[in-house]
Structure 1
Amino acid sequence: MNILDIGSLTPVFTVWLAGSFAVDILIAICMLSILHSSKSNFGPTNNLIDQLMIRVIHSGAITAVAAGVELILYLTMSQTFVHDTPALFLGKLYSNVLLANLNTRQKNDDTYSSGVISSRQSKQTTSLPFMHFESRGKRSDGSATALHYPKSPPTHQAAKRIAPTSRFTPSYLRMTVQHFILQISYRPIDVDLFRREALVHGLENFTSSVGLGDDANVKQVCKYSAAMAELSYHDHDFECQLQIAKFTWYMIYIDDLASTMLLALQNYQRKSLAGIPDEDPVFRAFSEHLSDMYQFWDAIPANCINCATLEFINGCILEALEEFQNLKLSPVSSSWPYFLRTKTGVASAYAFMIFVKSAHTNLTDFTQAIPDIARFIDLTNDVLSLYKEELAGETANYIHNCAAVQQKDVVQVLQDVSLEALSCYHRVSSFLKLQENEKGLQAWETFVNGYVGFHLSQERYRLRELLEGTQM
């Protein structure tokens, strides 16, 4: 074609070039709109969306500017081939933008799952399925502190958030939790309000007897502990439920005040073994409480409950020690997260509590299931706690620790933990069926249903918010 004839094609070229320019701008605007509408109150996801929006602006601007320059040159210098200059590299520019986006995505994934991170970027998230409280003031005798709800942590204590992968969104977490709940055949529980109030009253009488008085926040812990006992051990008699509720209260007390009474905790076991009465009335009552375990469970289960309790105290001490505050997780210490989890979860104690001696006299009918029950308790709490921890930016937990040492992203670890918890559930059920232990199977299913119901019913886990609009 003669160069002089190009003018006859001006309308066609103009529409083509203007269309390319407009489409680049339109694609960028649509992507920004979609990304912005995907934002929620899920902080880590919002950080990732912000990064993606910046990337869209950068990549869209490059190609749009190139298309715009070509359009301007064509309209002003259509009788020459100058406008072909940007056209020659426009295709390569699109290809390079695509490769740059892919490389950046890979870099983000590597950053998310790489290397060594601090296991104590903030105060260690409690491994217990309990509410977190912190110390406030002293009791009337000056020997111990009360409990209270913490306010927002100081900025310097805020956890450093690890950017999740693009799949780790509230929708994905909702799907995981829904699948988990469906797999265990969860059924809503009819709460025994009269029993619940009686448990709360019993706990409040106990806290008054050890000098904690009428602190409103202590009463809230009593309600929380009563809910755990009444829901998870729904068919146990009242005295046994009160024993479990009191045990739960003690676990919260020790977990949240460990850093303020390290020396007392370190000396507790030595004093107990030596028969030396503790100066603190709470610890004196705690020793009596542990000895009462033998009223409800046979010697071996009661011994195991008490051993798990002492292990829990050691775990709390480890977390509170200054040298562990900034402990770096090494990729080769793959067993450490689970070791710490078993120390601070006191799950085996709650596992043995399922089988009271009044109904389960033969230890061989259930003891082989205890390891899987304990693991189920820990991992279920990890799955059902993750939503509220992600909202708070907390990364010092079992799932994030595993992601660090296993060189995996949190999504993959969440999948692994959820599937392992379900495997434990099915193994326990299968074992009890093979043993033809109908009472044990019923006690196990009651516990599982109540334990999950406990998480769903407590506002601190925010699962109602996560599952809003579903049939859960």
Structure 2
Amino acid sequence: MNQLTSPVQEQPQLPRFGREPASHFEDTQKLESFLRPLIKSFVKDLGYEKPTRIDKEVYWSKLHERAAETGIPHAKGTHSHSCLEVGGLYAIACLPNHPLDVQIYVGIYTWVAIVIDDTASHQLADYERFHERFAAGEHQPTCVLENWAELLRSTFKYWEPIIANFIIASSLDFLNACILESRSEFLSLIPTKGSRNFPWYIRSKTGVGDAYAYFTFPKGLFPDFSSYVEVVPDLSKFFCLANDILSFYKEEVAGEDANYIHRAAQQEGKNVREFLKDVITETLSAFHRICVVFEDRELERQVLNDYILGYVTEGITHDEPRPEGIRPPSRALDAFVESIASEMGLNP
């Protein structure tokens, strides 16, 4: 019987998956010249238009009340408070016409997810046993993890049981991926040429795309999941990849290469710039497939438009610093992307 062999020793060694700083981009001006038309075209192809400014005093009041109930410290001026504002802004911008309780849930969920992503590497011992304790119904050892467990349990209040199950599964995968990316074995992992799909596997977990896709369709608005479930794979992919597209400039300037675009380009043996073009094409294709599914479904099409509009708004009209990863891209962006919004007349 013939045996399969792999010429591992002949392969060029790929960079490890750990968060090693990349070399600084050789020419920021050239990078801007390359990216500017791509991002303009990407935003235009989405059919993006300048949104109306949202003023939701009741929402913000209720959100901060709910945040206080969690017991998670978030005094003004702290990183946690900034993360809360990010989560709150995401929910109200992307789900502007959703029920208030759903908006608050998504805002708090996003806040806690950001905190988890930022603290996992420092509290591995507590985080690694979250799933075991969650399955056994045991109390979690930290305030953040206990609130995460409660958020997952309360998912059934707002989404159909089968959809809530998917949201919980995506959320558990996210936490596990945060743990994985913090483990020394992962940080020292040197990928082989055979692991072509591994970068997307990791990105799909850290992006929590399935959960955020399902957040679009609470049971109070969509009692029949058959009206939207077909779009979830593409909507999930859209959220992950749109984030990476809009965050590309800042990460390049910062010399960050521990991200999906760099990892996948390396696995594909492609230039990073050319691979970015492929990612933009793939993201737009996913968006257009969703539009086909919702062509004759007015409510679904409207919430999709609201979501995409809010998501991209948060990506091109703000430049406040924010953590990386699963978050909507806005506050990880910079004056460069802000300038594109200004040129297109999209700043509020």
CA–CA distance in 2 between the matches of 1:205 and 1:368?
Answer: 33
Task: Report whether the alignment pairs 1:454 with 2:307.
Answer: no
Offset of residue 212 of structure 1: 1.1
2:114 to 248, 252, 265: 252
Hey, what does 1:128 align to over in structure 2? Answer: none
Please say if residues 262 and 272 of structure 2, whose CA atoms lie closer than 8 Å, have aligned partners that are also in contact: yes
Offset of residue 117 of structure 1: 1.7
Deviating more after overlay: 206-215 vs 294-303: 206-215
How many residues are paired up? 320
Task: Report whether the alignment pairs 1:445 with 2:319.
Answer: no
The root-mean-square deviation of aligned C-alpha atoms, in Å, is 2.2
Task: Report whether the alignment pairs 1:397 with 2:259.
Answer: yes
2:59 to 198, 215, 231: 198
Offset of residue 179 of structure 1: 0.4
Task: Report whether the alignment pairs 1:464 with 2:325.
Answer: no
2:290 to 399, 420, 428: 428
Deviating more after overlay: 221-230 vs 208-217: 208-217
2:77 to 216, 219, 237: 216
Q: Which has the larger radius of gyration?
A: 1
Change (3 A) 1:202 1:469: closer
Q: Which amino acid counterpart does residue 119 of structure 1 have in structure 2? A: F
Deviation string 1:215-253 (CA, Å, 9 cap, x unpaired) is 522221111111110111111122111100000011101
Offset of residue 263 of structure 1: 1.5
Structure 2: gaps of 5 or more residues? 1-11, 320-331
1:303 to 153, 161, 165: 165
CA–CA distance in 1 between the matches of 2:29 and 2:16?
Answer: 24
Offset of residue 391 of structure 1: 1.5
Please say if residues 222 and 249 of structure 1, whose CA atoms lie closer than 8 Å, have aligned partners that are also in contact: yes
TM-score by length of structure 1 reads: 0.64
Deviation string 1:44-94 (CA, Å, 9 cap, x unpaired) is xxxxxxxxxxxxxxxxxxxxxxxxxxxxxxxxxxxxxxxxxxxxxxxxxxx
Offset of residue 181 of structure 1: 0.3
TM-score by length of structure 2 reads: 0.86
Offset of residue 120 of structure 1: 1.9
Hey, what does 2:9 align to over in structure 1? Answer: none
Hey, what does 2:229 align to over in structure 1? Answer: 367
Offset of residue 205 of structure 1: 5.0
Q: Which amino acid counterpart does residue 333 of structure 2 have in structure 1? A: Y
Change (3 A) 1:411 1:423: same
Change (3 A) 1:240 1:205: closer
Hey, what does 2:325 align to over in structure 1? Answer: none
Task: Report whether the alignment pairs 1:273 with 2:135.
Answer: yes
Please say if residues 74 and 81 of structure 2, whose CA atoms lie closer than 8 Å, have aligned partners that are also in contact: no
Task: Give identity over the alignment, percent.
Answer: 27
Q: Which amino acid counterpart does residue 14 of structure 2 have in structure 1? A: V
CA–CA distance in 2 between the matches of 1:204 and 1:348?
Answer: 28
Q: Which amino acid counterpart does residue 464 of structure 1 have in structure 2? A: E
Q: Which amino acid counterpart does residue 94 of structure 2 have in structure 1? A: S
Larger relative contact order, structure 1 or 2 (CA cutoff 8 Å, min sep 6): 2
